[in-house]
Every structure is written in C-alpha cells, then in structure tokens.
Amino acid sequence: MTIEFNPSRGATLGVEWELQLVDTHTRHLRQDARDVLAAVPDLSEGQRPKAMHELMQSQVEIITDVCHTVAEAVQDLRKSIDRLTEAVEPRGMALACTGTHAISDWRDAVYAPNQRYVELVEEMQWLAWRIQTFGVHVHVGVRERDKVIPIVNALAAYLPHFLALTSSSPYWGGQDTGLASSRAIVFGSLPTAGPPHLLADWAEFEEYMDTLIKAGTIRSIKEVWWDIRPHPDFGTIEIRMFDGIPTPREVGMVAALSQCLVQQFDQQIDRGYTLPHPAPWVVRDNKWRATRYGLDADVITDDHGSTAPMRDVLYELQRELEPVAERLGCAEELAVVTDVLEQGSSSERQRAILADGGSLQDVVDATIIELAEDRFVTSNPNRDAGQSGS
C-alpha cells in the first residue's frame, strides 16, 4: 500500500478547536449544533468550512486556514469565535471548552447528522456513546515524508507534557473522577486510539496501515486516532493529545509548543542527529501519570526509570525551546507555559472554584468567562452574587 505524503512548506500550522454549546440558564450542554451551524453559513458552508459538526450535537468544531505563525492561527480562531458568539447568544447559549462538561450526562447527547458518525457509533457501541468530550488538535507541517515517522516517535515522549498543561476534565457527569483528565480515558478507550505505534520508517507505516485495512480493523487511515499521527493529505503531523482548552491564549501556547518541537526535530535531522525514540512502556506509563495527576505528576525521564516533577520538566522545556520560538515568532505564546504553571491548569482551576465554596454550575460559568474574556478564573466567579451559580 502506497500512502502519498503531501509535503508542507515548512512548519505551517492548522488548529482544530472543539467548542461546547452551553445553555446560559441551566449551564447544561445544548444539543443544537445543527441550528447554530445553519445560522453561520459563511463559516459552515463551502469547500473549506471553518465551522463544522463533530460527533455530538453539543459541539461545534472550528478550524483555521493554513497559517504560518501562531499569532495568525489564534487570530483566525478568534474571528470564528466572534462570529459563532453572534449566533449562539440570541439562542440563550454561550461557548466554552473543557475536555468534558462538568455536569452534563453523556446519555443526553444527540449524534450529529453525519453518516460517518452513524457508522462509528454502530461499530463502537458503548465506547462511542460516551464520547461527549472536547479537544484541540494541532497540525504542524513537515517538509519531507521521511522525516515524519522519526518526528512522531520523538514527540511521543511529550504526551504527558501536552496533557498535563491542558488537563481540563476532572469532572464526568457531575462527579469528580480523581483524574486530571477523564477525557484521556474516555476517548483513549477506542480501539485505534492511544499513543502512536513507534515504527521504523514510512514504509513500515504504509505496511501497518495496509494490514489494518486488510484485516477490516479500519476502512481508511483516518480511522487511526492516535494521540500523535501523520496526516498525509495535509502534509502534517497532527498532535491530538490536548484536552479541551478553555482560553485562546492557552491554544496559542500549545500551538507554539507543537510548532517549536516539530521545527527543532526537523532541524536536528538536517544536522545528522538521530532523534530520541522513547521506550513504549515509558510512553504509556507517563501518559497515565499525566492523566491521573496532571501538573503534579512525577514523570519518567529515561528508560531506566528516573523521574522528575512535571512542573520542573516543563520549565526546562520552555527554556530549551525559547531560541526556536524566537525564530518562529511565537516566544510570547510559548511563555504562557509559565502562566499555566503558576496559576494552574484548567483542571486545577476548576477544583479551586469548588474549594472556594463554588458549585459545578460555578465551574461551568468560569469556563464560559475564560473563553469569552481570555483569562484564567481561579476562584468562584459567583461568590459575591450571594447565591452559588446565580
């Protein structure tokens, strides 16, 4: 099986952001994506729509054009957010994004009117029924096909970094799961989800995809939902590990982190370096540690079992990537890593609201504020209103 790769012109960017449709009165998810998308034909129609259905009617996915800088990508997303806000506010809704919705029940979800999703639900059954989850995907362009698999392998070591920074789904159906990211468990249960298979080269990737198709496991390579995967049509590596991200500035942060890492690995290959190839057990174990503990995780740093605090590892990674970020023009966005380390990931901020006497309805209000105002909310936003959730 030959899989053609459409090379990109450098480390271009594309971002997909899955947004929640939240009822401003009940704070529950509204299953109204069909009506919202119909109200914004300028975004949802045409050959390259910028807003579209995802699996559930409770979400709308917005997509950037091909961008060259992080600032360009964030500005693209902001324009779509502003346009969608014009459509949802008169309908008594607001936009938000976290990996799961704190209080809504997945059993109330309605599937989007898409044949592909109908077939997915029929095949996966209960595994698909529960996927009322939200994430962010970042595509970074790669100039040469033969660089893709080595870069994917190297990026696998950063799954816990990606997840810890963006962990935003501690609650599932009104209950604290004890996890930083319940979405990682819910979505990761799909048969072709999870960490990428660490392959030798593009030829082995082609052979593996061919085997899966012949076995009937998948019908196309688009049904392989690895946390990091090649996207041959776009000429990108797609990083799918991020939980739902509440603020544009944090989306810019992960876009910068992704672009810097891919660019650094690309240049290291040009200089003759062999990229790191983490042991599969380390990749799996570290992903679990970030799923459970988020930024409080101690992560494995080598194949011998050495560990270090995730916060320390992230501070060091940010400093390491600063020269790359300067050259790419995304140093300001990369610096948001420090803000998250100091003020907490979304999962920590959500729990802080309950610790401040708030309710899960207050958590939902906070996520709406975070997206609308692009700022972190670390205490109960309704504390002074006299009534929780008012």
d(C-alpha 140, C-alpha 197), whole Å: 19
Tell whether 382 is covered by a domain: no
pLDDT at 68: 97
CB atoms within 10 A of CB 122: 9
Q: Are 229 and 223 in contact (CB under 8 A)?
A: no
Question: Quick check: 135 and 63 in contact, CB under 8 A?
Answer: no
Task: Specify if 379 maps to a domain.
Answer: no
Measured CA to CA, the distance from residue 70 to residue 12 in angstroms comes to 9
In a domain, 380, yes or no: no
Helix ranges, 51-188 (H): 70-88, 115-124, 126-129, 145-155, 159-166, 183-188
Tens of each residue's pLDDT in the chain, 390 residues: 899 999 999 999 999 999 999 999 999 999 999 999 999 999 999 889 999 998 899 999 999 999 999 999 999 999 999 999 999 999 999 999 999 999 999 899 888 877 778 888 888 898 888 889 999 999 999 999 999 999 999 999 999 999 999 999 999 999 999 999 999 999 999 999 999 999 999 999 999 999 999 999 998 898 999 999 999 999 999 999 999 999 999 999 999 999 999 999 999 999 999 999 999 999 999 999 999 999 999 999 998 999 999 999 999 999 999 999 999 999 999 999 999 999 999 999 999 999 999 999 999 999 999 999 999 999 999 987 654 432
276, 167 Cβ separation under 8 angstroms: no
Asked if the structure places residue 154 within a domain, the reply is yes
Residue 36 included in any domain: yes
**Tokens 């816990």, located at residue:** 160
Q: For residue 386, what is the enclosing H or E element? A: none
State residue 55's pLDDT score. Answer: 85
**CA-CA distance, 50 to 252, in Å (whole number)?**
18
Helix 310-328 vs helix 159-166: angle between axes, to the nearest 10 degrees?
100
Could you list the residue range(s) of the whole structural domain that residue 285 is in? 13-373
133 found inside a domain: yes
Q: d(Cα 358, Cα 350) in Å, to the nearest integer?
A: 10
Say if 172 falls within a structural domain: yes
| First-to-final CA distance of the chain | 58
Here the tokens at position 310 are 């995730």
Contact of 34 with 274, CB cutoff 8 Å: no
Element (H, E) at 33: helix 33-38
Distance in angstroms (rounded) separating the CA atoms of residues 377 and 390: 16
Beta strands in the chain (DSSP E): 13-23, 51-53, 59-63, 93-96, 135-141, 171-172, 175-176, 193-194, 225-226, 228-231, 236-243, 298-300, 307-309
* Residues 6+ positions from 312 with CB-CB distance below 8 Å: none
Overall number of domains in the chain:
1
Q: How far apart are CA 148 and CA 156, in angstroms?
A: 12
Asked whether residue 384 is assigned to any structural domain, the reply reads no
| Strand, coil or helix: 176 | strand
Burial annotation 54-66 (CB, 10 A radius, 16+ → b, else e): bbbbbbbbbbbeb
pTM of the predicted model as reported, rounded to 2 decimal places: 0.95
CATH number of the domain bearing residue 117: 3.30.590.20
Distance CA 24, CA 210 (A): 47
Tell me the C-alpha distance between 332 and 211, whole Å: 44
